[in-house]
Chains A and B, each alone.
Chain A
């Protein structure tokens, strides 16, 4: 989170090339959306028992359990050679790359339409994957990739998560309101959510998926990806964000740093 935000802030201040990141998590963790109230729909006691830490993203959307998934981040100016400078345009151009990557794995994926889930109250769902928003990616009408953005000063950061496996039972436990019992939404989640493993019946690791997606971004955008490392400004800001924001329980719990 700190690396992604540092890239986003330094791009706003100093400009620079866009960045594409794929990464996994050392330990399972729950990332929650910027505005999300962690006291609604998340079983905090169960998370603690399972050693699952909670981190608040700088982006919107709802909670994602990071375990058997691959996280991606795109940091760019809103206007770029690959994209019109609006929210939907940015989403669609990134989705086009992800769709190509999924196709390479033999998974047919489409974008949810603007009317998708219009009647559902997305704001009431605690789980990102339980309720696709317009332009999110579906395989056989079930969500396989969730994404969310933050935009400021003409730049955006888009976070997303591609499920390698979906564990409906664990999600049910973590998102149940009752301390001891499951919420009973396991079947509902399983019907709405799929994963790379479920669609391919093959073992696809995060590393393999990352390579496929990198190739897809390069092909669709006709670009050459160059491996980079954080600049001194990004590194300094990242360290500051780790210290003061992303390990700060006020931020992770309530969205405040002081």
Chain B
């Protein structure tokens, strides 16, 4: 049963956001990591690169040989990248919504957050996909 944390916002592309002022920490949802299976590789943008909402910012490959493009929920400049993933990619599966975070973005437009879902909204959204009790 995936975890839906109340302190996070969620995109319909299965990415979570933790907001701290103008900064957004971003990762894949627990639901997404369950669907993906064992993550083998993660590609993330460089620090200081610009990312755009609704555009891919990275890629994840699972043991099922499926590559998933990570779609950014916000626009802005990447100010931090989780280097712990280089040492242990397993944290994306084991702790996707905390130590398995992916990037921190300095947001350009806080209004973009209005399109994101809260935990209940995201739970209802994935319910429609028929995989969650």
A residues with CB within 8 A of B? 33-35, 58-61, 84-88, 91, 122-123, 133-135, 147-153, 255
Contact = CB atoms under 8 A, between A and B. Distances in A.
Interface string B114-133: 00000000000000011100
Nearest to A128: B65
Given A35-B43, A86-B131, A87-B36, A135 B64 contact: yes
A91 B64 contact: yes
A147 B61 CA distance: 14
Contacts of A91: 64
Interface in B5-50: 13, 35-37, 40-41, 43
B65 A151 contact: no
Interface residues of B, number: 22
Given A34-B61, A60-B61, A149 B67 contact: yes
B65 A147 contact: yes
Given A35-B43, A133-B65, A148-B65, 15 more contacts: A33-B61, A34-B59, A35-B61, A35-B67, A60-B65, A87-B35, A87-B66, A122-B40, A133-B63, A134-B64, A147-B65, A149-B65, A149-B67, A151-B66, A151-B69
Nearest to A150: B67
Interface in B50-100: 56, 59, 61-69, 71
Contacts of B62: 60, 87
Contacts of B131: 86
5 closest residue pairs by CB, A with B: A152-B69, A148-B65, A61-B65, A60-B67, A150-B67
Contacts of B56: 152
Interface in B97-121: none
B69 A33 contact: no
A108 B71 CA distance: 40
Q: Is the interface of B mostly helix, strand, loop or mixed?
A: strand
Contacts of B59: 34-35
Contact of B64 (A33, A58, A87, A152): A87
23 contacts: A34-B59, A34-B67, A35-B43, A35-B67, A58-B67, A60-B62, A60-B65, A61-B65, A86-B35, A87-B35, A87-B36, A87-B66, A123-B41, A133-B64, A133-B65, A134-B64, A148-B65, A148-B66, A148-B67, A149-B65, A149-B66, A149-B67, A152-B68
B31 to A, nearest CB: 11
B90 to A, nearest CB: 12
B82 to A, nearest CB: 17
A123 B66 contact: no
Given A35-B43, A123-B40, A151 B68 contact: yes
Nearest to B59: A34
B29 to A, nearest CB: 14
Contacts of B66: 60, 87, 148-151
B71 A152 contact: yes
B94 to A, nearest CB: 17
A153 B68 CA distance: 9
A44 B36 CA distance: 32
Contacts of B36: 87
Contacts of A153: 13, 69, 71
Given A149-B65, A151-B66, A85 B129 contact: yes
A35 B41 contact: yes
A149 B68 CA distance: 8
A33 B129 contact: no
A153 B129 CA distance: 15
Contacts of B43: 35, 255
Contacts of A60: 61-62, 65-67
